[in-house]
Chain A
């Protein structure tokens, strides 16, 4: 028992402590024994006494090692740090910066990738991806039609329950006029599948998604609180959706983040069009108990095969499951991980600097350590004291690190706009703060440990320290190596940032082919505009009024705004034998004056106008790419049609310069522009309003005009083309900004490291330099010598950085557009930048050296 208790006693005292107890126990047992037998009663009381060993041992531990000792050590550590305020400030600043960057990235990665989705057993949830394999090749959509969903659900059981959801903008009237609310049409089992229970009322009943059942609604808690006044009787009320009163049956918590975290109203699919050709719904389901995703795939594939081909569509349906989390956030994983790696690089660079800072103090440290060792402090105690001091340093850096980190996180969220998935889960919270403390603490302790290693006796401690301070050859080599690493690491990040910059420039310099100030307005048209004649009249009237507004140069409409989607059609060119039977083009249906309102450039012929009505000659305009692809000899006058099922041949009357309808990342496809008035399909609509140069923003004027014509129309979106394209580039812009910040930080830290190492060398050789100066050496030569040393370190670092860039080129290539990861101009520029900055960082201390008064420094010895 006593032996067990002895574990608690500090090692140095343990032997003696055990002997004291042994002495007493033995004596106790033997002293009064009549013979060699030990009486039971005596034995019991001795046992009792022996139990006291435990509190005694703990007491020994407390006194020697702990409470008294801990507080003392903490106080001592604080005093040491306060004594060298400059050192402490620099060390804390270094730690704060590095920990801040690392913490920010952790906050982002944690919120987006690490935290489990807010559903019940989220690992069991899968999203189904639909791929059609046909003669036209493979088309991947994430959606299927409702009939397909019903059939699929019935014909398999590997994913059960299975639900369907589709986001939709709902026109809702809460008494303040029509407004657009984010909604969704979901199957009845949607909330059960996700494991979300209503906080008030109920979710949908099993039959409520069947056609013919009366419509009911489920609203989000947010919506209930902010828009419906949080009334407890909300389940007895209705909201007006699309003109109809829909009773509310329940409220769901904010964890309901499908289809999006801002979805406010869910409706069942009872009234949703059930057409086999309308691929509207995404599927999400739960794997059956005990089944893995891989094991479930064959079952999914088999069930998909049983779904009859949809009319006029794309071929055989394949379905595969992917973990829901991956589908929602997976695309951002590579970039986030790469950026996190960059912060770890910064941390490493900072750690080296911190280690050097500790090294600077080793001289004075050694004396103090020796005295403490002589006074009886064990090496454990000394080590512990140093560790505590490092932790205090980390504590000091914690608050600035969190402030920096939070600023970086906020900047990231702003830059990402809406393109970062689960951005609502990203914030600096206690979990992140703990991480920051752990990072800072570990770094500080590691840095401290590399330098201070108190020996067990005074002699060795002093010897170690002196050797280190003198910086023997091995120490110098290590230090040089570390600086080269720092410069190389900074170089790698700088190259990455430079490449991202080139890539981003390339993206923004792509000509969109239209006026960026044009306003794209997407109205949400309700049922009364389903009739084509009514709709056309309304649109013509509206655009007439809009073009009449002051400041408006032209207005028109189309079935899609730029970056607003596109349709594919098969295309046949008259008299030109088709090489590829499946040749197709993108099609945009346009109103009169479309090209003028986009500011597109007409290359040949004329644009489409009001005279191109249903009763006139059927015409078309094509883009440059179409002309080059299908009619290289000249497009005007030729006739085309939308595949063999198109009843009309349409004459090409104009060729327009390429317009980036699908955005910056996709190459421009051949486009056909047909007058809406000449086609029977109603379809969606977008308004385009082009301001005169220098005119004031038109948003309010447009809204007013719209309300004049029909106050029941809500606006789905209204933004300039420039804003749309900018949003498209938000992700590369974010990567560029973050990497830029990280690279600059790394460079600063590395230069500090170079400066420090060179300064140290200068200081050590001060005496030698003084002598040389006295003997007639030229100050300039001395400076050059020092700078040369620094520059050679820089050169080695640059080389290391370039090698690292080459080694990681495959990874970096994934984030670049139209730029090689080994792009020579970028690499050369960064190499020059590094050489210049490291040379400067070496020149500053060298300059100081040459100014040394030789007499003074010699005398100082």
Chain B
């Protein structure tokens, strides 16, 4: 399975961390709406993320239309941990490469 892209990873991680609503995910990841929403769509189509409408009564009481909230599916959790591990390993390699050994001849 291919690892998630970095933006997808950020979004998925945010959702896992309990951030459920679209604009809140933007706040949490610092990514713009033009990026976050397409990523959400992609994750949903891949079956990694589920979405649902919040309780309508709650919303109407506040005088606003209901929001859609997102949650990771089982596959989504799996993908998240696999991808995270992948990136950690990648980071480790990069560290070794730059911190160890003599600097290259210029």
Contacts and interface: CB of A to CB of B under 8 A. Distances in A.
B33 A20 contact: no
A615 B33 CA distance: 113
**10 closest A-B pairs by CB:** A52-B33, A23-B67, A52-B34, A26-B64, A55-B34, A59-B38, A56-B37, A49-B33, A24-B23, A20-B68
A26 B66 CA distance: 9
Interface in B48-69: 54, 59, 62-68
30 contacts: A19-B65, A19-B66, A20-B67, A20-B68, A23-B54, A23-B59, A24-B22, A24-B23, A24-B67, A24-B68, A26-B65, A27-B67, A28-B23, A30-B62, A30-B63, A49-B26, A49-B32, A51-B33, A51-B34, A52-B37, A53-B33, A55-B34, A55-B35, A56-B33, A56-B37, A56-B38, A59-B37, A59-B38, A59-B41, A63-B42
B65 A22 contact: yes
B21 A27 contact: yes
B45 interface: yes
B15 to A, nearest CB: 15
A22 B54 CA distance: 13
B97 to A, nearest CB: 36
Nearest to B33: A52
Interface string A12-33: 0000000110111011101000
A54 interface: yes
A55 B38 contact: yes
Contacts of B33: 49-53, 56
Question: Is chain B's interface secondary structure helix, strand, loop, or mixed overall?
Answer: helix
A20 B38 contact: no
A355 B67 CA distance: 50
A218 B65 CA distance: 83
A60 interface: yes
B93 to A, nearest CB: 33
Nearest to A29: B64
Contacts of B54: 23
A23 B66 contact: yes
B64 A30 contact: yes
Interface string A105-142: 00000000000000000000000000000000000000
Given A20-B22, A51-B33, A56-B33, A27 B64 contact: yes
Nearest to A36: B63
Nearest to B31: A52
Nearest to B42: A63
A428 B12 CA distance: 58
Contacts of A20: 22, 67-68
Contacts of A23: 54, 59, 64-68
Nearest to B67: A23
Most chain A CB within a 10 A radius of its CB, from B42, B45, B65 = B65
Contacts of B67: 20, 23-24, 27
Contacts of B59: 23
B23 A49 contact: yes
Given A19-B65, A55-B34, 6 more contacts: A24-B21, A24-B67, A26-B65, A28-B23, A49-B32, A52-B37
A48 B27 CA distance: 13
Nearest to A28: B23
Contacts of B45: 63
A24 B33 CA distance: 11
B89 to A, nearest CB: 31
A30 B65 CA distance: 11
A19 B67 CA distance: 8
A27 B69 CA distance: 12
A460 to B, nearest CB: 28
A60 B41 contact: yes
B74 to A, nearest CB: 23
Given A59-B37, A63-B45, A52 B32 contact: yes
A67 to B, nearest CB: 13
A52 B31 CA distance: 11
B35 to A, nearest CB: 8
A63 B65 contact: no
Nearest to B38: A59
Nearest to A25: B23
Contacts of A59: 37-38, 41
Interface in B3-57: 21-23, 26, 32-38, 41-42, 45, 54
Interface string A337-359: 00000000000000000000000
Nearest to B32: A52
A72 to B, nearest CB: 14
Contacts of B66: 19, 23
A792 to B, nearest CB: 58
A50 B65 CA distance: 16
B18 to A, nearest CB: 17
Nearest to A16: B68
B4 to A, nearest CB: 17
A490 B63 CA distance: 72
Contacts of A28: 23
Contacts of A26: 64-65
A50 B21 CA distance: 15
Contacts of B21: 24, 27
Contacts of B32: 48-49, 52
A123 B23 CA distance: 63
A587 B22 CA distance: 101
Contacts of A19: 65-66, 68
Interface string B78-89: 000000000000
Nearest to A20: B68
Nearest to B66: A23
A52 B23 CA distance: 11
Most chain B CB within a 10 A radius of its CB, from A28, A50, A53, A63 = A28
Contacts of B63: 30
A46 to B, nearest CB: 9
Contacts of A30: 62-64
A56 B35 CA distance: 8
A42 to B, nearest CB: 12
